[in-house]
A and B are shown apart, each in its own frame.
Chain A
Amino acid sequence: MTKTTWTRRRFLSASAATIAAPAILTSTRAYAQSPTLRVGHVSPRTGPLASFAEADDYVLDAISQRFAAGIENNGKTYNVEIISKDSQSNPNRAAEVAADLILGDEVDIIVAASTPETVNPVSDQAEINEVPCITTDCPWQPYFFGRNGVPGEGFQNTYHFFWGLEDVIGAFLDMWGPTGVSKTVGGLFPNDADGNAWGDPELGLPKPFAEAGYDLIDPGRYQPLSDDFSNQIAAFKAAGCEIVTGNMIPPDFATFWAQSAQQGFAPKIVTIGKALLFPSVIESLGDRGDGLSSEVWWSPNHPFNSSLTGASSKELADGFTAATGRPWTQPIGFKHALFEVVADVVKRAEDLEDPAAIVSAIASTNLNTIVGNVDWSTGPINNVTKTPLVAGQWQRDGDGMDLKIVANSAHPDIPLTGELKLLS
């Protein structure tokens, strides 16, 4: 083996070659011909919220293909590059990667989805750094009030589409009403952004429940990842609750539901937000998963089409199952819709170099997406608009579990696919 020695002459020729290289080598990519628009995307790919982002790869692949030809804006074609980062289900990490996308990758638009733990920190970062931001997949109350939004004022750069607690309450009552079970409801609300919003005496579930004649037994906020729910179970048993509702993460619900069986508590209806959205969670519960109910934001039976690909809800869901071999999940539709809105905004913005012009394009959106109409001029509060919500129940269908839509009074255009069955 010969040893390379660095002589002065050798060093000089090497440095000269390095310096001259860019001038000699011709760049294959011409500058400024087709400018690139960067879209930052934050979602919880790993961690306890990972099931929300399960469809990321499938949706992003399809969207990237769609964007490959570029998007035209004012006669100029823009390349669109999506940079996706993992929040690891941790709000601090979400803020960190959002700051990284904004300051490091210098994204032009930032998008985020899945629970207040992801959406809020990303939106806050976007608001501080004045980057246009679109988010979804988090009820609007924890989004708006969780970020200390002032009704009437709202935010400058951040916009959100999803439904609100009033829709959940409406859908739940719509589902429970006709069954005639006793109107005593046990509430399980964790001490996190969602739990505090759902359990809030003024803005959450308690007030509308009382108005509808339901008696809500709320033992108080528990710490997420508790090892024991026997006190809640005892309180529900003592009050004779026939319905259990709340907003939980899957591990807490698994602990609660196992302990309920162990301690002889058998409610007739169990309707839990967040935890019961996913087929994988229902499957891990085995036979105990049959008959649990949840809110339904999107399903293959929703009568909407993508503005980007023209695909129907059913085609999008079937595509996911074909690509991954896994059952459809609700966030698929919203993740797709998020990029539908991005594409629409990029097309309409008056000047893509100007963040303010992008923001005003977001604000003037009126788009029929795969999850329904997105139009920020009709929202319940500043910077927020709503998509339809119905209620559904997991029922055994052949080998697997299927989420049947069992209540749709608020949105009769979304067809019913089943009838609510009581658990016991």
Chain B
Amino acid sequence: MEWVNAVVQGTLLGGLYALFAAGLSLIFGVMRLVNIAHGDMIVLGAYLGLSVTAILGIHPLMALIIVVPCMAVIGYVLQRSILNQTLGGDLLPPLLVTFGLSVILQNALLEIYTADPQKMNAGSLETASVSVGGLSLGVLPLLTFAIAVAVIAALQWTFYRTALGRAFRATSDNQEIAQLMGLNRRHIFGLAMALALGVTAIAGIMLGIRTSFDPSIGGGRLIFGFEAVIIGGLGNLWGTLAGGVILGVAQTVGAKIDPGWQLLAGHLVFLAILAVRPNGLFPRISG
């Protein structure tokens, strides 16, 4: 039963990791952009959520209504004004630019919000639980997992059932030909980044309700996001969810053996999968 509990709790934790990873997966899938600043953008989302709840006095989940569009606009502007300039055959310039963005974001947040840890107060939601077959499951982790599944499903639907998704896939397959067919790839990339940062805002707020955050924690979250994307397979959204769950379960099962193993076990599983299947478990595109 304890092992079952470890696996179930790990699965729910995986929902949070999948939310961290979804934005990364999307950006890489559409424009082959490795966003080093993703972790800091999650933290930015959390801080925007904190500001909105503090100013308007609303529940953190309600703050999503404001924070998600805000982050989407930031994403579009960022892509059109900066990141589009770096895209080309070479993978290195966007990597370096996002690395710089990460440093700038961290220091800007430090300047505005100081290094003090903050937390969003979601009231009784934080401690509520339901009992399922002898296991006590927190409502908040369940909600996080449900949101992760919903977000992945919505992204998947957008990708394969809408004109926008078709445009995403077309630019992803061949930018020049998509351009010839009348798609403005700069605009398409802007929209992809907007969508990705919208998802990142959700991840940031769920993180901010679950635990405390400060401007420096982005890097650690970036690693979990990357690991989930790579375990699941590049460019595959459902794979990203699976990757998040595998990572979460590895951590809790590792912690079951010894709490010191919690983070290490996650990294070891990631390394093992990378060694056996360098493209991840369910790759859609070759790396």
Chain A residues at the B interface, C-beta cutoff of 8 Å: 46-48, 50, 88-89, 191, 219-223, 225-228, 230-232, 234-235, 238, 250-251, 254-255, 258-259, 261-264, 284, 286, 288
Contact = CB atoms under 8 A, between A and B. Distances in A.
A234 B114 contact: no
Interface in B113-161: 114-117, 119, 121, 123, 126-129, 131, 136-141
A226 B266 CA distance: 12
A48 B121 contact: no
B115 A254 contact: no
A264 B136 contact: yes
B2 A225 contact: no
Given A222-B262, A284-B121, A234 B6 contact: yes
Nearest to B128: A262
B255 interface: yes
Majority DSSP secondary structure for residues of B touching A: helix
Interface stretch (B26-34, B97-105, B210-218): B210-218
B129, B131, B136, B217, most chain A CB atoms within 10 A: B136
A261 B124 CA distance: 10
B140 A284 contact: no
6 contacts: A223-B260, A227-B251, A238-B2, A254-B211, A258-B126, A263-B9
Please name the 4 residue pairs, one residue from A and one from B, whose CB atoms are nearest each other, closest first. Answer: A262-B138, A251-B212, A261-B127, A46-B115
Contacts of B110: 46
B255 A228 contact: yes
A222 B139 contact: no
A87 B9 CA distance: 36
A48, A191, A220, A228, most chain B CB atoms within 10 A: A228
Contact of B260 (A50, A221, A227, A234): A221
A221 B214 CA distance: 23
Contacts of B260: 191, 220-223
Interface string B192-232: 00000000000000000011101001001000000000000
Interface of B: 2, 5-6, 9-10, 13, 16, 110, 114-117, 119, 121, 123, 126-129, 131, 136-141, 210-212, 214, 217, 220, 248, 251-252, 255-256, 258-260, 262-263
A248 to B, nearest CB: 12
A232 B252 CA distance: 10
B262 A223 contact: yes
A234 B263 contact: no
Contacts of B139: 262
Contacts of A225: 217, 220
A264 B138 CA distance: 9
A263 B138 contact: yes
A230 B214 CA distance: 23
Contact of B259 (A219, A255, A261, A262): A219
Contacts of B9: 228, 230-231, 263
B115 A50 contact: yes
Contacts of B140: 258, 262
B2 A226 contact: no
A152 B108 CA distance: 49
Nearest to B253: A231
A169 B157 CA distance: 58
B222 to A, nearest CB: 14
Contact of A47 (B6, B116, B126, B256): B116
A234 B137 CA distance: 12
A231 B211 contact: no
A227 B141 CA distance: 11
A259 B10 CA distance: 13
A221 B211 contact: no
Contacts of A227: 13, 16, 210-211, 251
B117 A220 contact: no
Given A46-B115, A48-B117, A288-B127, A255 B258 contact: no
A228 B129 CA distance: 15
Nearest to B260: A221
Given A262-B139, A288-B127, A232 B115 contact: no
A219 B2 CA distance: 14
B136 A48 contact: no
Contacts of B127: 258, 261-262, 288
B262 A234 contact: no
A261 B129 contact: yes
Contacts of B214: 47-48
Given A230-B5, A234-B2, A288-B127, A259 B138 contact: yes
A232 B255 CA distance: 8
Contacts of B258: 219-220
A280 to B, nearest CB: 9
A287 B117 CA distance: 20
A254 B121 CA distance: 11
A284 B136 contact: no
B116 A223 contact: no
Given A47-B116, A221-B260, 7 more contacts: A48-B115, A50-B115, A191-B260, A227-B210, A228-B13, A230-B6, A250-B117
Contacts of B16: 227
Nearest to B139: A262
Contacts of A48: 115, 117, 214
A55 to B, nearest CB: 15
A237 to B, nearest CB: 9
Contact of A226 (B128, B131, B263): B263
B185 to A, nearest CB: 37
Contacts of A255: 210-211
A284 B212 CA distance: 11
Contacts of A258: 126-127, 138, 140, 210
A345 to B, nearest CB: 32
A46 B255 CA distance: 30
A48, A227, A234, A259, most chain B CB atoms within 10 A: A227
Given A47-B116, A48-B117, A48-B214, A263 B129 contact: yes
A46 B109 CA distance: 13
Contacts of A191: 260
B285 to A, nearest CB: 30
